[in-house]
A and B are shown apart, each in its own frame.
Chain A
Amino acid sequence: MARIGVFVCWCGSNIAGTVDVKRVAEEAAKIPGVVEAIDYKYMCSDPGQNAFRNMIKDKNLTGVVLAACSPHMHENTFRKAAIKEGLNPYFVEIANIREQVSWVHEDKEKATEKAIDLLKMMVEKVKRNKPIEDVRVPLTKKALVIGGGISGIQAALDIANGGVEVILVEKEPSIGGKMIQLDETFPTLDCSSCIMTPKMVEAYQHPNIKLYTYSELEDVSGYIGNFNVKIRKKARSIVEKDCTGCGDCWNACPMHKNVKSEFNVNLSERTAIYVPFPQAVPLIPVIDRSVCLHYKKGGKCQKCYDACGPKCINFDLQDEIIEEKVGAIVAATGYDLMENSLYGEYGYGQFKDVVSGLQFERLLSASGPTEGVIKRPSDGKTPETIVFIQCVGSRDPEKGVPYCSKVCCMYTAKHAKLFAHKVHGSQSYVFYIDIRATSKGYEEFVRSTMENDGAIYLRGRVSKIYENGGKLIVKGADTLSGNQVEIAADMVVLATGVIPKKGSDKMAQMLGISYDKYGFYTESHPKLRPAESSTAGIYLAGMAQGPRDIPESVVSGSAAASKILGLFSKSEYEVEGTIASVNKTTCVGCFYCQRVCAYSAISKEEVKDRSGNVLKVVANVNSGLCTGCGACVNACFSKSIDVRGFMDEQIFAEIKSLAV
């Protein structure tokens, strides 16, 4: 027999001003099963909570209903109080008569009626509640970080420094990501590689970090605390432990000047056996089998092998699949730049001296193809006038993307500044739509580029670029003076928009996390849970989430790391018990539930008889992944799934309580 206690909270005048709380309590006392109903000024106060606990004890209650504020406010408070009196916390229900009644209604009579109805519903529900135990999931205290750019490295280092083992997977032959390609960084003009290489080396040498470069994630299964991952370690054709990184092999390669260097964004060439850049970590070359003569000409060429002192080149090495068990994952897969060729009017690819922002970084960089001397690609002359065009691809819903790429305003100002510093007497023109310089020191940086370094900023877009007499004629607009403007330039730099890394959608599907229409991973909550993905145990960092600059990427890497260290600080992971459960007797195994589950929480389970014969296959809910959203309940044709605490029986009883 149910013994229900009811408490009606005044919330000062918040509720009592609009709802006749005395009447609500009187009506509640008449509901069958209710043993006592009282009203009180502030239930959340200490005396209020004591009254709550005393009634559970004195009246030997089997359930409690509070008519009070939103359960978001104090559900936890009262559940904890119930536990102290030995009552299962899921036997405490709250009828929200503040946010849903007193705050939104004025008519006291009608508001009181509504409050009584809501209370009745909760009484009927709590009568049918069943004890629910929170789910505990074991944790494998090891983390996987996908992507060895600045945010991935930062996440890996922070986790590793917290004493947890980390596996860092990088697709390219070296870690470093995009940041290592940059020259100097805004707004302080720190040399990018000078601040990046120490971090790369630290990650490589850290005792808690296992680094897999030239490797890709092949498969992910499992759930928070218990992921199984497969990593494909692509064949480098080098026995890594023997390689000294001396460089004899790539110096001997006959394929020099044949392959465009990815690191220098096609501005220089590399050999078939190569390291992407001299400071690569690890400093171990890789053979590009798509161009290497050994593979193309049936093993005839082996000049690198001949040159190699420790004979660590092995042409027959195969890809390896490495299996690891981890408890948490950081997706820091980074970004790509848009195709400039989308804009035929800017002549990218047609005119050699129209380059992308990243290419200009390489031209500025001391480790670049020109050793830091700005030379234009066509004839190697030092340009005197450069036109920079911002928002190429960004903020262009027609051809490009509608969002702002966030970093271009700042790196263009930096380019113009460095150009003024390196080529005295030079002139830069910047076409912009708006200047977005919102972080610490950014606005001052842009202003100083204009006022101290003489860059001329023109508000407007460029419509066309053509060649005339060795110059690039740039036709644009200056909307501030209302003029069409024509500038003869030696070089044009396009501030190309940022897009998610190619294949980030596939990666998201493999990880079972959600992503937006562009392919950027979406946060669990854009403001309050910015480091978490939609799937428990998978965290996000860096540009894979959307455009951001280096400081923000570092912050996001650290944020993901701190979330993981927090998760691992407990012995087990606790999940609220209000998750879906399957009635295996009635389940017909259609797996429609599996298709609608956004969290990949449903798997197939075989039901066997005593002799091990499979009787049928039914749905099984993974308690580590289920969030209790209820999508499967709606989808189930045979009514075999219920969310604990929100069973059909309870919901129907609630509705029935309203029928007069």
Chain B
Amino acid sequence: MKTVINEQQRRNFVGEVESKLHDKLAKCYQCGKCSAGCPVNFEMDYTPNQIIKMAELGMIDNVLNSKTIWLCVSCNTCSTRCPKGFEVAGIMDVLREIAARRGIKSKTEKEIQTFHEVFLDNVKSNGRIFELELVGKYKLKTKHLFRDMFLAPKMIEKGKLKMHSDKVSNINQIAKIFKDFE
């Protein structure tokens, strides 16, 4: 793979990432501890430390079209173990969001991206997860209507699937958080 570094583009991109991340990409010293402990690393096309380096070099297309940013399950093992205290899981979130804003559709991880969008929409409107709505919308969008259907009775029995939305009392604050990220 060949990358021609465009200084202006690189700087803009790094600026965008860092302002959302509230952290510096240069902090990373590429020791690879994040990648060493990542439970989903085996499915990723780039290791987490490669994503950080590529973001720093302004390799925008590679980063935003990578599988890695969508496969990250935000378990935070990487961030917890990072010797430099870098927000490794955080940068995956930031990159997912930047990709979404730019209208980039993941070619390989369509369902994960859909779930990501539905999940955030759900949080935005309820302030917390309203499972029934989340499941419904996700199934309509992915057209996998009957997948995992037999789990539903059990979940209802255990009170995991509520029939009505239970919005947070101060939904305005949630709106503010979303606005701040813009």
Contact = CB atoms under 8 A, between A and B. Distances in A.
A105 B11 CA distance: 69
Nearest to B24: A451
A478 to B, nearest CB: 7
A456 B56 contact: yes
Interface string B97-123: 000000000000000000000000000
Given A447-B29, A478-B57, A484-B2, A427 B7 contact: yes
B27 A484 contact: no
Given A480-B30, A481-B59, A486 B5 contact: yes
7 closest residue pairs by CB, A with B: A484-B2, A486-B4, A451-B26, A481-B53, A481-B54, A450-B26, A480-B53
B50 interface: yes
What is the size category of the interface that chain A forms with chain B?
20 to 34
A350 interface: no
A385 interface: yes
Nearest to A475: B2
Contacts of A385: 7
Contact of A480 (B11, B27, B49): B49
Interface string B55-70: 0110100000000000
A454 interface: yes
A429 B11 CA distance: 13
Contacts of B56: 456
A575 to B, nearest CB: 53
Contact of A484 (B1, B29, B49, B50): B1
24 contacts: A385-B7, A427-B11, A429-B5, A447-B29, A450-B26, A451-B26, A451-B27, A458-B57, A478-B53, A480-B49, A481-B50, A481-B54, A481-B57, A481-B59, A483-B2, A483-B3, A483-B54, A483-B59, A484-B3, A485-B57, A486-B2, A486-B4, A487-B5, A488-B4
A447 B84 CA distance: 11
Interface in A85-144: none
Interface string B1-37: 1111101000100000000000010110110000000
Nearest to A384: B7
A503 interface: no
Interface in A435-494: 447, 450-451, 454, 456, 458-459, 478, 480-488
B3 A486 contact: yes
A196 to B, nearest CB: 33
A451 B29 CA distance: 10
A482 B26 contact: no
Nearest to A484: B2
Interface centre among B27, B49, B53, B54 (most CB of A within 10 A): B53
Max chain A Cβ within 10 angstroms of own Cβ: one of B26, B49, B56, B59: B26
Interface of B: 1-5, 7, 11, 24, 26-27, 29-30, 46, 49-50, 53-54, 56-57, 59
Given A480-B49, A480-B50, A480-B53, A485 B5 contact: yes
Given A480-B49, A483-B59, 14 more contacts: A427-B11, A429-B5, A450-B26, A451-B26, A454-B26, A458-B57, A481-B54, A481-B57, A483-B1, A484-B3, A485-B5, A486-B2, A486-B5, A487-B5
A130 B26 CA distance: 73
Contacts of A458: 57
Contacts of A486: 2-5
Contacts of B46: 481
A482 B50 contact: yes
B83 to A, nearest CB: 12
A254 B56 CA distance: 54
Given A447-B29, A450-B26, A454-B26, A482 B3 contact: no
Contacts of A480: 30, 49-50, 53
Nearest to A452: B26
Contacts of A484: 1-3
Nearest to A443: B29
B35 to A, nearest CB: 11
A459 B1 contact: no
B78 to A, nearest CB: 16
Nearest to B4: A486
Given A427-B7, A456-B57, A482 B30 contact: no
Nearest to B55: A481
Nearest to A447: B29
A485 B1 CA distance: 9
Contacts of B7: 385, 427, 488
Contacts of A483: 1-3, 54, 57, 59
A218 to B, nearest CB: 53
Contacts of A454: 26
A385 B10 CA distance: 13
Contact of B1 (A427, A482, A488): A482
Contacts of A485: 2-3, 5, 57
Contacts of A451: 24, 26-27
A132 B57 CA distance: 74
Nearest to A425: B11
Interface in A357-386: 385
B16 to A, nearest CB: 16
A488 B4 CA distance: 8
Interface string A272-288: 00000000000000000
Nearest to B1: A483
Contacts of B1: 482-484
B25 to A, nearest CB: 9
A144 B102 CA distance: 73
Interface string A318-352: 00000000000000000000000000000000000
Nearest to A458: B57
Contacts of A459: 30
A472 to B, nearest CB: 13
Contacts of A488: 4-5, 7
Contacts of B24: 451
Contacts of B29: 447
A243 to B, nearest CB: 52
Contacts of B27: 451
A447 B86 CA distance: 14
Contacts of A482: 1, 50
A480 to B, nearest CB: 5
Nearest to B11: A427
Nearest to B50: A481
A459 B54 CA distance: 12
Nearest to A487: B5
A487 B3 CA distance: 9
Contacts of A429: 5
A124 B59 CA distance: 81
A451 B18 CA distance: 12
